[in-house]
Structure 1
Amino acid sequence: MDTLPKTMTFSCLVKKGQCEIRKRPIPVLKDYDVLIKMKACNICTVDYQQFMGLREHQGYPMAGGHEGCGEIIALGDKVKDFKIGDMVALGYQGCGHCPACRSGHPSSCETFRSESEDGYKFGEFGFADYTVKSIDSLFKLNPNLDPSEAAFTEPLSTVLNGMKKLHVKPFETVVVIGAGPMGLLNALVARAYGARVIVSELLDPKLETARKMGFIVIDSKAEDPVKRVKEITDGEGADAVIGAVANTKAYDQGVQMLKDRYGRFLVFAAGYPEPELNISANDIHYKEMEIYGTYGGTNDDFEDAVKALSTGMINVSALVEAKYPLKDMQKAYQAAVDGNYRISIVFDEK
């Protein structure tokens, strides 16, 4: 690019149900920064739940957008391992030198999703035509990937983090409760790990998508999902259950789906209002049950997510519901609230 842009156009939430398109100067590149021309950024639950007023604690104005990818168009003076033209996925930006960052866990850094110098909450600026990032938060992608699919790197990393904790093995039975984008992403990864995957859902469009993707499907509004899991597993129950819906009833069902000994349950989703997890301490003791929580992905998880998407081992094309330009961000947020899968903000789509 002969002349680099001086300003960036971005979206920020200013209050419940309202976003604005604003401009700000592009920050000066530090030694290890790069300037990225964004290709796509998908609307995450973190984003649209604040649009709905469910995450007011995150603050305003919120310049979010973290499920993104783009092309590097300028380099800081000391950048060596990236070059102009590289397609990269956005990772988590930490301080880079605290114990959490040094161990590959920037989502545990105190500066993670902190306020920008000019007062924007979350300060990630993924919903922008240009953004500046440090190279320690970037991961190279196959440039031939559809940008809206490449933007699944971050959510896929969070799924991989949880799946590694669950220690899923080939031929095990894994139940995923919820066939939304994160539920089906969990289901895809569990299948890639060699498990037999059952998906429980109550909404017809999501049930249909899960069927088309080849999973065993339980319509939880038409039949008892716990009873059905027991039938499918010849009375044994599931080796592992993933709660991909933040709902007390769903969590109760998930615990009941587990086999009598050594069952594993993963609390994948956070919910507002907060769901309850009703588990007997004696059951955990006598059944030797394992309960896991997961949040975000490590740097290693991001690397694995890039490999899975770049090689086609995980195909997320069915999870992109619609694409909108940045100027229609208000409509895009509403579509995310009303829809079933990811709404993608695209920039300069060819």
Structure 2
Amino acid sequence: MAILEAKQNVVKQLQDLRGLNDELNPAFVLQKPLNVSFEDRPIPTLSLGSTDVIVQIMQTGICGSDVHYYNHGSIGKFIVKSPMILGHESSGVVAAVGSACKNLHVGDRVALEPGVPCRQCSACKGGKYNICPSMVFAATPPFDGTLCKYYKIAEDFCYKLPPHISFEEGALIEPLSVAVHICRQASIVPGNSVVVFGAGPVGILCCAVARAFGAKTIVSVDLVQSRLAFARDFYGATHTHLAGSTTSSVETAAQLINDAHLRDGADVVIEASGAASSVQTGIHVLRSGGRYVQGGMGKYDITFPIGAIIEKELDIKGSFRYGSGDYLLAISLLESRQIDMKRLITGRYKFHDAERAFKDVYSGKPGLVKVVIEGPEGKCVSEF
């Protein structure tokens, strides 16, 4: 019986792949900084006994890291040395499955977790696969991303979308998972006061997740008033603070504490901007014994108020991407409608307008908060 079932799976896989034979795989490729092109790349293949699936990409969000590669060709030690397909925030439809797949079928609507670890190193075995040194992460050199028609990924890093979750929302489960991981790193509990520096998409989502976790006071801090209004009106911030004054970090922290009625300081600070001044202010905003999480990526080395960390005995953590359970929790927050991702989307582009989308995000086009790009047209399962 098992042998017959295995043969049937192989036949089904071959049928799925034959259905792709006449298809093309258009991709949005970064050649070098500020130089992109559309290319027809080979359709991925599945080896015998594979547990991978091929997904037809339906929607892809633009992340700050994508824009950074587009403009600079590198992020820290990750340097674009050869043409690379951009994009990693994606959702789509399963177009083919490996013969050893158990949980997914052709036609399933899925969100993609774009980083697949080795599953064998000490980080993976210790439950922190997000810091696996052998991580294969979409659109991180030397690996191609998801701004294409067909993308191959491990079955267990695809998550079925609930019926009422759209492909657009499914693509943005990725940044929502980043915010979930940050808030879990911060150990937010009901009644906590939380200050979030940075009101970009991740900072705004941190406000929303903190609210879902039961935070009582949520302060959003940013340089742009419209972003603060967005965080307050739609995503749970109870207070906002417009940064940019010439006061010292200690004075700014004191003002924040006073304006938000934080008494001895905040329970939690989340830094989602990467700005050195925000890091310094955040340390001073915290109460003694408070918790600080660095999620924003800025300069690699900065001046750090380590004396205050010692005196207050603060709990300091970094947060990198997302780990075990974060995607499932993010989907649960969407499914239960505790977080509305639709409001975050303020720009929608066709695939052939991908370069314009990147330019608009980089230039800070007014009104843009989060942008999604529709996948290449043709042979897709229609949106409900």
Q: What TM-score comes out, normalization by structure 2 length? A: 0.82
Q: 2:231 aligns with which of 172, 187, 210?
A: 210
* Unpaired stretches in structure 2, ≥5 consecutive residues: 1-15
User: Hey, what's the Cα distance between the residues in 1 that align with 2:137 and 2:202?
Assistant: 25
Alignment of 1:182 with 2:202, yes or no, is yes
Figure out how many residues of one structure are paired with residues of the other and give that number: 344
Contact 1:93–1:136 (CA<8 Å) still a contact in 2? no
Partner residue, 1:257: 285
User: Hey, what's the Cα distance between the residues in 2 that align with 1:114 and 1:265?
Assistant: 27
Per-residue deviation, 1:291: 0.9
Contact 2:176–2:205 (CA<8 Å) still a contact in 1? yes
Higher RCO (C-alpha under 8 Å, 6+ residues apart): 1
Partner residue, 1:109: 132
User: Hey, what's the Cα distance between the residues in 1 that align with 2:192 and 2:272?
Assistant: 18
Contact 2:88–2:138 (CA<8 Å) still a contact in 1? no
Contact 1:39–1:69 (CA<8 Å) still a contact in 2? yes
Partner residue, 2:147: 127
User: Hey, what's the Cα distance between the residues in 1 that align with 2:222 and 2:304?
Assistant: 20
String of CA shifts for 1:39-81, please: whole Å, max 9, x gaps: 1111111110111216264213222311111111211111111
Partner residue, 1:191: 211
Question: How is 1:308-319 mapped onto 2 (pairs within 5 angstroms)?
Answer: 308-319=333-344
Letter matched to residue 24 of structure 2:
T
Contact 1:101–1:109 (CA<8 Å) still a contact in 2? yes
Secondary structure of 2:202 counterpart: helix
* Unpaired stretches in structure 1, ≥5 consecutive residues: none
User: Hey, what's the Cα distance between the residues in 2 that align with 1:150 and 1:41?
Assistant: 9
Partner residue, 1:276: 302
Partner residue, 1:290: 315
Q: 1:69 aligns with which of 86, 91, 94?
A: 91
String of CA shifts for 1:132-166, please: whole Å, max 9, x gaps: 11112212222432222211222222222221121
Residues 1:115 and 1:221: Cα distance change in structure 2 (over 3 Å): closer
Partner residue, 2:10: none
Secondary structure of 1:263 counterpart: strand
Partner residue, 1:90: 112
Alignment of 1:18 with 2:18, yes or no, is no
Contact 2:59–2:91 (CA<8 Å) still a contact in 1? yes
Contact 1:150–1:309 (CA<8 Å) still a contact in 2? no
Question: How is 1:323-342 mapped onto 2 (pairs within 5 angstroms)?
Answer: 323-339=348-364, 340-342=368-370
User: Hey, what's the Cα distance between the residues in 2 that align with 1:304 and 1:278?
Assistant: 33
Q: What TM-score comes out, normalization by structure 1 length? A: 0.90
Secondary structure of 1:168 counterpart: coil
Q: 1:246 aligns with which of 274, 279, 283?
A: 274
Q: Aligned Cα RMSD in Å?
A: 2.4
Residues 1:202 and 1:184: Cα distance change in structure 2 (over 3 Å): same
Residues 1:104 and 1:303: Cα distance change in structure 2 (over 3 Å): farther
Residues 1:100 and 1:221: Cα distance change in structure 2 (over 3 Å): closer
Partner residue, 2:60: 41
Contact 1:104–1:300 (CA<8 Å) still a contact in 2? no
Q: 1:4 aligns with which of 10, 20, 26?
A: 20
Point out the more displaced range, 290-299 or 157-166. Answer: 157-166
String of CA shifts for 1:236-279, please: whole Å, max 9, x gaps: 211111111111111111111111x11111111112x4362512
User: Hey, what's the Cα distance between the residues in 1 that align with 2:341 and 2:197?
Assistant: 18
Secondary structure of 1:169 counterpart: coil
Point out the more displaced range, 6-15 or 182-191. Answer: 6-15
| Largest Rg, 1 or 2 | 2
Partner residue, 1:321: 346
Residues 1:289 and 1:106: Cα distance change in structure 2 (over 3 Å): closer
Secondary structure of 2:182 counterpart: helix
Contact 1:15–1:51 (CA<8 Å) still a contact in 2? yes
User: Hey, what's the Cα distance between the residues in 1 that align with 2:24 and 2:244?
Assistant: 50
User: Hey, what's the Cα distance between the residues in 1 that align with 2:132 and 2:67?
Assistant: 24
Letter matched to residue 19 of structure 2:
T
Residues 1:234 and 1:298: Cα distance change in structure 2 (over 3 Å): closer
Secondary structure of 2:84 counterpart: coil
Partner residue, 2:173: 153
